[in-house]
Structure 1
């Protein structure tokens, strides 16, 4: 059995590495970097990146992460996590068809309702240099996330601090890795105390901290 995860830690591959840590999976990590971060992607000595010919054989879309699980190739970080959880089972996996539906629903919800706005907040409140930040863009993203945060806050309040099954699952990992992008907007979390406590608990897990330490050690 051989699992390979393609993608640097400073990418959505972090989601898959966190889950692999939670599941205790042995895997090979191939740190493919995003092409836009490479000064000259065409240079002979360029690091392996998302437009490299060797990586395009793995994922012709030219995005990370991807996995190769004994010859089975899969892309899209949230789908990869759902696959790995289903394959390896245990308490992190959906226990029945209803939970399977919920796990898929929350993954799609995170991607469609939250991720773009959360990334915008991260960029315009923290990641971009001050001269490139646009307060009006951040304000629009902040307003767009108010309702989804309220929905998630109510779900967590009713679910004992988890999004499904009253236990920590792959659904929490997929959601937490999207919601964390919005952390610079502290007012969102103050207005949603259950979301704040949940994210803190998720990120206190040893499997997350191991992933994050490796991420911090990776070149920015």
Structure 2
């Protein structure tokens, strides 16, 4: 049976959303990030990334991790791409070329978008420093967001003119910047795409569980 380790308030949302889309049975083990706990090694601490039981799964002490009938894999993008290829149907690749494109877009978002998008999410627009930080990050995101806008104008999705794991991986990274509306107001294709992705029942099911977790 498939087991996914990691709380919903983490990068685990990527494989957890995919599992909802695929409608495959899986066991969820809510491992929390150690940095969120005052004392992760306390006897009454919840299972976290430094707990011995999780370190036996992932000695890198990061979430998410996956165990698929004995095959253990780490890193959210790798897990999602693996699950899509094994179980995915329309969500997974239909050719080696599509697989390469799904990897390409996932890595593009991880390397070119995620750092600045996370900074936008964590910055406070109510402070001058927060506003300044967001403006710097927004300028850095112009090039990758323009590239997404141009690509999405053509087919509406990232690969194969259909919703795939590439859309899940990239949408969950772009989401970090979604609170800063100017990045989307001038990019209608990008805005329509992420709204379309987040309107899917799989995303809504994942998001409901995420919101039920303590912040």
Shorter chain as denominator, the TM-score bin is over 0.9
CA distance in 2, matches of 1:51, 1:3: 22
What residue number does 1:67 align with? 66
What residue number does 1:177 align with? 172
CA-CA distance at 1:133 after TM superposition? 5.4
How large is the RMSD of aligned CA atoms in angstroms?
A: 1.3
What residue number does 2:207 align with? 212
- Say if 2:24 is the partner of 1:16: no
CA-CA distance at 1:125 after TM superposition? 3.9
CA-CA distance at 1:136 after TM superposition? 2.4
CA distance in 1, matches of 2:198, 2:128: 29
Q: Are 2:4 and 2:67, in contact at CA under 8 Å, matched by a contact in 1?
A: yes
Deviations, residues 88-115 of structure 1 (Å, cap 9, x unaligned): 1310011101111100100110100000
In structure 1, runs of 5+ residues without a counterpart are none
Q: Are 1:124 and 1:132, in contact at CA under 8 Å, matched by a contact in 2?
A: no
CA distance in 2, matches of 1:90, 1:201: 20
CA distance in 1, matches of 2:198, 2:209: 14
CA distance in 2, matches of 1:107, 1:26: 25
CA distance in 1, matches of 2:102, 2:195: 20
What residue number does 2:147 align with? 151
CA-CA distance at 1:134 after TM superposition? 2.9
What residue number does 2:132 align with? 136
In structure 2, runs of 5+ residues without a counterpart are none
What residue number does 2:103 align with? 104
SS at match of 1:91: helix
Length, aligned pairs only: 215
CA-CA distance at 1:75 after TM superposition? 0.5
- Say which of 166, 170, 192 aligns to 1:197: 192
Q: TM-score, normalised by structure 2?
A: 0.97
